[in-house]
Chain A
Amino acid sequence: MDNANDANNAPEQDDPIKGVGCARKRKEDARFIQGKGNYVDDIKMPGMLFADMVRSPYAHARIKSINKEKALALPGVHAVLTADDLKPLNLHWMPTLAGDVQAVLADEKVHFQYQEVAVVVADNRYIAADAIELVEVEYEELPVLVDAHKAMDDDAPILREDLVGKMDGAHSKRVHDNHIFNWQAGDKDATDRVFEQAEVTVKQDMYYPRVHPSPLETCGCVASFDKVNEHLTVYITSQAPHVVRTVVSMLSGIPESKVRIVSPDIGGGFGNKVGVYPGYVVSIVASIVLGVPVKWVENRMEHLSTTAFARDYHMTGEIAADSDGRIKALRVNVLADHGAFDACADPSKFPAGLMHICTGSYDVPVAHLNVDGVYTNKAPGGVAYRCSFRVTEAVYVIERTMDVLAQKLGIDKAEIRRRNFIKAEQFPYQTALGWEIDSGDYHTALEKVLEACDYEGLRREQQEKREKGELMGIGLVTFTEIVGAGPTRNCDILGVGMFDSAEIRVHPTGSVIARMGTITQGQGHQTTYAQIIASELGIPSDEISIEEGDTDTAPYGLGTYGSRSTPVGGAATAVAARKIRAKAQKIAAHLLEVSEQDLEWDVDRFKVKGVPGQEKTMKEIAWAAYNDRPEGMEPGLEAVDYYDPPNFTYPFGTYLCVVDIDKYTGVTKVRRFYALDDCGTRINPMIIEGQIHGGLNEGFAVAMGQELPFDEQGNILGNTLMDYFIPTFVETPKWETDYTVTPSPHHPIGAKGVAESPHVGSIPTFTSAIVDAFSHLGTTHLDMPHNAFRLWQHIRELGLDKRTG
C-alpha cells in the first residue's frame, strides 16, 4: 500500500490543537519557501572580513618554508596566519572529540591533501581568493599511506610524528605508530568455541566505502570578538552549538559566560556539522587578533575534501549456525580507516560508535566484535552520516552476512530472518554485546511487507527471468536501529553527559515559548516539539514558539545528530510540559475549589469528575497562574527538564527492493522500493514521510554511487558534484512507505526517532537486491557503490554480456 495519502491520517483541519499524530504543515516552511531563511552566509556584520584557506596539494609532505610576503602586499589583505602564528596561543593543534589532537594549521607537516596550511584574511572573498594563490609554500614530499590494510606494516611510513613513542592511546594500547585503538565487545573465547563446533559457518569480507554527507549548505562561521566587553559571538553551522561553546571556552580561555554560539538556519547536517573544524578556530583567532568580525565559508570542493567523511570500514562478518539456519554465534572484525587525525564524532567511550549493535534484529546467543582504528593520509572525520554512530555499518555487516548464510544453506532470505528474529515476547531483550532492546515486533513488520509486495510472486517472476538470462534481484532487510544517545552512565562527549533539555514558559494569555538544547537542520523541530507540547498542555501548536541554537537563551543540550532529538529532546519536552500540567492542575483545583484528585484532564482543560460544566481551560489556568493562585505557590507557569534517558530507543523496519539490471551496460533500474518503518509513536506523519523519503534518497545515493576514492599519491578523486553522486529527481526511485507502531516503553510519549532509519535500512537493501540478481551464479557479495561500471565488470567476469548475434 502506498501511504502518500495515508500520511495525512490526521489532517490538521480535524485537530484544533494540531498535536501528536497530526499531519500538520511545517511551521518553518513559510520562511524557507519564500527564501527568507537565515543561514550563516546570510549574516553580514559591519566591518566584516573574509577568511580563505591555503591548502596542501600533497597528501604527505614536510613544509620547508612558507612565504607570505606577496600575499600580504596585495591591497585589501589584512593577515596571513600559519601554524607558527598560532603556536604562541597554543592553538596550532586542537583536541578532537575522539581523544586525539588535530592540526589547526599544518605544523611542519601536511598529513592529507587539501589540509589547511595557512589562512588569509582580506576585505572580501575575492581578494582572499587571489591572495591564497600568492602564499608560497615549499614542500618536500613524503611516502604516502592510502591503503588502511598496509597501515600497520613494518615498513609503513609513519604519519603522526607527534605521537611516536606514545603507545598509550585514548582508548587502548597502540601496537604500531599508525595504530589508533583496538576496541572489543562481547565474549571472544565463548564465540570462538561456538565457531569451532558449529555445523555451518559463513564468512564475508566487505568494504563500506568512504562517503561524505555533503549537505546542501557547506560549513562556515562568522566569528565576532567584542574587544571592549571581551565577549565572543560565533554564528556557526553547528549541530551541537552548546558543545561548541564549551570547546571554544576551553581552547580560548574565555569564560563560557562570555562565549555565545548561534546556530542559525542550517541547510542540512547529517553528522557533518557536529565537529569543530580548523576554519572555525582560525576565524575566531583572526577576529580576536583583528578586533573585527571574520567570516569563513568553505566551497564544495573544500567541503568534500576536508570536512568530516563517513564510514571507510573494512569489515568481515562471520556467522556460526546450525543446519536449519539458526544463529549460534556472530563474529565481526573491522579495520577502520580514520584518516590522519582521529576526529570521529562518537560518545567518548565508544571509539567505534555503537557498532556493537551489530547483532541486529536477531536472537544471537554469543558474539564478539573487534575493531582496529588506523591512520592514513586522508582527511579526518568518521561521523555518523544520517545514522546513529556507526549503526549503518553495523546493520550492513549483519544484514549482508545473514544473506550469505541464507544463500549457503539454500534457505530463503525472508525465512532465515523469521527463524532468527527476537520474538515479540522476548522484549526487553538483552543482546550478546550488551544492549537492551526496548521493544519490537519484527515478525509482524516482515509479514506485512512480504504480503504487500507479493514476495512469492516476485520470486516466481525472478525464476522466469533467470531462465531467460535476465538479471532481476530482490533485496530484503530487517534492521534494528539504536538511537537517542544516550544514557549519561555510558554516553558523554568531552565528559559532558548526553542528556538533553527543554525549557517551556506559558505566557499569561496562554501561548507558549519553548527552548531546547537540540538544533533543527531540516528535521522540523519547530513543528514537532510544538505538537508534543500541544498535546501535553492543550494549547494549539500554532501558538507555541520553539527556539533552538542560541546558547545565550537555550538550555544546555548536546545537539541534534544520531536521531537523538525526539528520543532525548522530545522526552525532555514532554516531561517539562507535564511539570507545567501538574502545576496547572493545582491551580485548577484552587479555582474550582475542589481537590486535585477530583479533576480529570480532557484535551485542553481540567474537569471536575462527574460535574458537567465545572472546568477550567488551560488558557484560564495560565491567566490565573499570574494573578490568582493557591496560597504559597510561586507565580508563573514554566518548567525546565534536563532529561537523562534510561536507555536508547530501538526503531526498526523491513525494507524490500526489486531491481532490474541491464546486463549490457550494468545500469540498475530500481523497480520497486517498499519501506516499512516502526518508530514508535508517530508525532507528525507528514514529517515522518518526508524524513523517510530523504533518508531513502541518501541511502540510494550511498549504495548506488557515492564514494571518495584516492589514488596512490593520496589525491582525492571525485571531490566535485560532477563526480560525487547527489541524486536528482530524475535518478530517484519511487518510494512506497508503510508503518507499524510499537511504542518505546521508556520514552514519555513512546516515540523512537525516525530520520536515520531509512538511510541505515535502505543501503544494505540495495546491496541485497543487487547481489540477489547474481546469487544463482554463486555471487555472495558485491561492494558499493553499485554503479554501472562496477556492475558491468562483474557481469563481464561472469560472461553474461555475450550476445548470441
Chain B
Amino acid sequence: MITSQFQYHKASSIEDAIQKLQNEEDAKLLAGGHSLLPMMKLRFAEPPYLIDINDIPELQGIDLQGDTIRIGAMTTENELIASEILQQHCPLLVEAAKLVADPQVRNRGTIGGDIVHGDPGNDHPAVMLALDANFIIQGPDGKREQPANGFFLGTYWNEIAEDEILVAIEVKAQKDNQGFGYHKLKRKTGDYAVAGSPVMLTLDGDKCSDIRIGLTNVAPMAIRATEAENLLKGQEIDSALIEKAAEQVIAACEPAEDLRGSSEYKSHMAAEMVRRSIQDALQRARS
C-alpha cells in the first residue's frame, strides 16, 4: 500500500504541463488522483513522474455561452453537483455526478480525470456519449476539438496523445423537448457500477426524434447502444418497443465477469438500467 518512488511537479499552466509531458519519460498527469493513486499504492502503476494539474486556472470553471456549456477539465464532482448552470441546463450531468463513488472522492475527483483515465467503470464517459459532448484538447501544437463519440477506444485507451491534455468539455444546454434518464446499479457506496445508463431523449410531438443511450462498465470502454437507439428513433415509444430495445442492449454488451456478477447478469442489468432511464427520459421530455 506504499507507492514506488516518484517525482512530483505542480504545473502552473497548461503549457508547463505539456512541456513536462514531453520532457519527462513516462510522466503521468495527476488530476483528482482517486484512480491513479490507488493503482500506484498497489504498484499496478509505477509512474516515475507526476504532473499535478489541479491548480491550473484555465482548467477550472463552468460557463454558459449561448447554448453551449463549457466545463473546465479539473472541475470536481462536487462542483458539478453545486453548479446552478448545470442544474438548470444539464441536469443529467448533475444526477450522474451525485452517484459517483462517495463524498470524499467527489471532493477531489474531477470530470476530466474521470473521462481520460480510461477505466470502463468510470461514469462520465457514457454520460459524455449521451450528451454528445465535445472535448477541447491541447497539445504542443495548440488546441483541437474532439467529439466524445469516437474518443473512447478501449480500456485505458483514448483518442488523445501522450503529450495532450483535456482542457474542457463542451455540452449543449438541454432543450424543452428533451429529457434525460440516469440509472446506475452498484453494490454499495463507492463501488463502480455493475451497469449504468445515461439516456438523452428528444421528442418531436409524440415521436422520439433523437435518443442517445450510453452504457457504463459493460464493455472494454463506455459505449453507445446504437442498435437500440436506431430502433427507437422516429418511433412513438411504448413498453413493447422498450423491450425490443432492451434486447438490443443485451446484445451490445460484452462485460467482464467479476465479483459484481456474471457477464449475463451485467448485460441484463444494463438493459434494466436502460429501460428505467428511457422511461424517466420520456416522462421528463413530455413534462
**A residues within 8 Å of B by Cβ?**
125-126, 129-130, 133, 299-301, 664-665, 667, 705, 709, 717-718, 722-723, 725, 727-728, 730-731, 787-789, 792-793, 801, 803, 805
- Say whether A789 contacts B189, CB under 8 Å: no
Q: How far is the CB of A670 from chain B (nearest CB, A)?
A: 14
Which of B65-73, B110-118, B171-179, B260-268 forms part of the interface with chain A? B260-268
Known: A300-B1, A665-B272, A723-B259. 6 other contacts (CB 8 A): A126-B2, A130-B4, A667-B185, A728-B188, A789-B261, A805-B240
Interface of B is mostly: loop
- B145 interface residue, CB < 8 Å from A? no
Closest to A127 in B: B2
Closest to A129 in B: B2
- Say whether A717 contacts B272, CB under 8 Å: no
Q: How far is the CB of B36 from chain A (nearest CB, A)?
A: 15
- B236 interface residue, CB < 8 Å from A? no
Q: How far is the CB of B278 from chain A (nearest CB, A)?
A: 13
The number of chain B residues touching the other chain, given as a range, is 20 to 34
Q: How far is the CB of A164 from chain B (nearest CB, A)?
A: 36
14 contacts between A and B (CB under 8 A): A130-B4, A664-B272, A665-B269, A705-B187, A722-B191, A728-B102, A728-B188, A730-B188, A730-B189, A792-B261, A792-B265, A803-B239, A803-B243, A805-B243
Chain B hits for A727, CB < 8 A: 188
- B140 interface residue, CB < 8 Å from A? no
In the complex, number of A-B residue pairs with CB atoms less than 8 Å apart? 55
Chain B hits for A722, CB < 8 A: 190-191
- Say whether A789 contacts B260, CB under 8 Å: yes
Closest to A124 in B: B2
Chain B hits for A789, CB < 8 A: 194, 260-262, 265
Q: How far is the CB of A38 from chain B (nearest CB, A)?
A: 23
Chain B hits for A709, CB < 8 A: 259
| Option from B240, B243, B259, B265 in Cβ contact (under 8 Å) with A718 | B259
Q: How far is the CB of A303 from chain B (nearest CB, A)?
A: 11
- Say whether B259 contacts A731, CB under 8 Å: no
With contacts A705-B187, A705-B188 known, is A805 near B239, CB below 8 A? yes
**For window 231-262 of chain B, which residues contact chain A by CB distance below 8 Å?**
239-240, 243, 259-262
Q: How far is the CB of B229 from chain A (nearest CB, A)?
A: 20
Q: State A722–B35 Cα separation when bound (angstroms).
A: 12
Closest to A717 in B: B259
Chain A hits for B1, CB < 8 A: 129, 299-301
Q: How far is the CB of B250 from chain A (nearest CB, A)?
A: 13
Closest to A726 in B: B188
Q: State A723–B261 Cα separation when bound (angstroms).
A: 12
Q: How far is the CB of A599 from chain B (nearest CB, A)?
A: 60
- Say whether B187 contacts A728, CB under 8 Å: no
Chain B hits for A665, CB < 8 A: 185, 269, 272
- Say whether A125 contacts B259, CB under 8 Å: no
Chain A hits for B102, CB < 8 A: 728
Q: State A803–B4 Cα separation when bound (angstroms).
A: 52
Q: State A667–B189 Cα separation when bound (angstroms).
A: 14
Chain B hits for A787, CB < 8 A: 187
Chain B hits for A129, CB < 8 A: 1-2
Chain B hits for A731, CB < 8 A: 188-189
Q: How far is the CB of A791 from chain B (nearest CB, A)?
A: 10
With contacts A126-B2, A789-B265 known, is A728 near B189, CB below 8 A? yes
Chain A hits for B194, CB < 8 A: 788-789
With contacts A300-B1, A717-B259 known, is A728 near B190, CB below 8 A? yes
Chain A hits for B262, CB < 8 A: 789
Chain A hits for B260, CB < 8 A: 789
- Map CB proximity to A onto B1-44 as digits: 1 under 8 Å, 0 otherwise: 11011000000000000000000000000000000000000010
Q: State A125–B239 Cα separation when bound (angstroms).
A: 59
Chain B hits for A725, CB < 8 A: 187-188
Q: State A129–B42 Cα separation when bound (angstroms).
A: 11
Q: State A731–B265 Cα separation when bound (angstroms).
A: 21
Chain B hits for A730, CB < 8 A: 188-189
A-B pairs, top 4 by smallest CB distance, nearest first, are: A789-B261, A129-B2, A299-B1, A730-B189
**For window 139-193 of chain B, which residues contact chain A by CB distance below 8 Å?**
185, 187-191
Q: State A718–B261 Cα separation when bound (angstroms).
A: 13
Q: State A727–B190 Cα separation when bound (angstroms).
A: 10
Chain A hits for B190, CB < 8 A: 722, 728
- Say whether B189 contacts A788, CB under 8 Å: no
Q: How far is the CB of B76 from chain A (nearest CB, A)?
A: 20
Chain B hits for A717, CB < 8 A: 259
Chain B hits for A133, CB < 8 A: 43
Chain A hits for B188, CB < 8 A: 705, 725, 727-728, 730-731
Q: How far is the CB of B155 from chain A (nearest CB, A)?
A: 17
Closest to A803 in B: B243
Q: State A130–B272 Cα separation when bound (angstroms).
A: 46
- Say whether A125 contacts B269, CB under 8 Å: no
Q: State A162–B139 Cα separation when bound (angstroms).
A: 63
Q: How far is the CB of B185 from chain A (nearest CB, A)?
A: 6
Q: State A130–B5 Cα separation when bound (angstroms).
A: 9
Chain A hits for B2, CB < 8 A: 125-126, 129
Chain B hits for A728, CB < 8 A: 102, 188-190
Q: How far is the CB of A723 from chain B (nearest CB, A)?
A: 5
Q: State A788–B188 Cα separation when bound (angstroms).
A: 11
